[in-house]
Amino acid sequence: MALEIVIPDSGPLMSLGRIDRLDLLDRFNCPILITDMVADEILRGKPGAPDASVFEAWFAKRGNRIQTIETSIGMMWKAIPEDIRATLKRVRDAGETSIWQFSNTIRDTMAADDEALVLFEDAAVKKMDFGPHIRKLSTWSFLIALERAGVIPSAQTLRNDMMAANRTIPSDPFDQPSPKMAGRDEDWIAGYDARPDMDDPTP
């Protein structure tokens, strides 16, 4: 059985990146799958965004562990010349469309004996079908699980740090196991480096 981390919207990356805690994702010893729209959003970001350099360094150091899945809406966006793209707002509902296409890809290509943890903040993800092998977990629930596992001292402290950095995560503790993962709560911890947090996390 193989585990994959699926991040369909930019929320979890932006929240952890804003406080320079992407190392909490690096502890997974498995691929991290994101959409091309998510990659574009977090790498392009806003001019002068404080977390821009954090994401650039993270992508550079993680290499092929971060796998970008192409979507038709993402390919359409990339086809627009860069100088024109910079003056445009995002295509209406582009993010949700990209997530929907991403969910179809995950559902149709995941091996029968593989499992995935879908880490999200976009409420639309709750209603999307990623297939029978996934567990949906909000950023807040992810932090709570890490606290319970003794990885971090306090989920609330990290949430407060995010708020201080002008990033507010939904407080809904959403955690939905898939039918195939039922009864194995937080089984993804088995594939996680659950050593206690350090003051100076190593990237």
pLDDT for res 19: 93
Regarding predicted confidence, which is higher, 80 or 101? 101
pLDDT in tens, 17-76: 999 999 999 999 888 999 888 888 888 765 556 677 888 889 888 878 899 888 876 677
Regarding predicted confidence, which is higher, 108 or 48? 108
Residue 90 pLDDT greater than 80, yes or no: no
pLDDT for res 145: 93
User: In the numeric block, which tokens belong to residue 85?
Assistant: 């793209």
Task: Provide the whole-model pTM.
Answer: 0.84
**CATH number for region 3-191:** 3.40.50
pLDDT for res 202: 46
pLDDT in tens, 132-191: 888 999 999 999 999 999 999 999 999 999 999 999 999 888 998 876 655 554 567 877
pLDDT for res 137: 94
pLDDT for res 89: 56
Q: Reduce the secondary structure of the chain to three states and give it as a string.
A: CCEEEEECCCHHHHHHHHCCCCHHHHCECCCEEEEHHHHHHHHHCCCCCCCHHHHHHHHHHHHHHEEEECCHHHHHHHHCCHHHHCCCCCCCCHHHHHHHHHHHHHHHHCCCCCEEEEEECCHHHHHCCCCCCEEEEEHHHHHHHHHHCCCCCCHHHHHHHHHHCCCCCCCCCCEECCHHHCCCCCHHHHHECCCCCCCCCCC
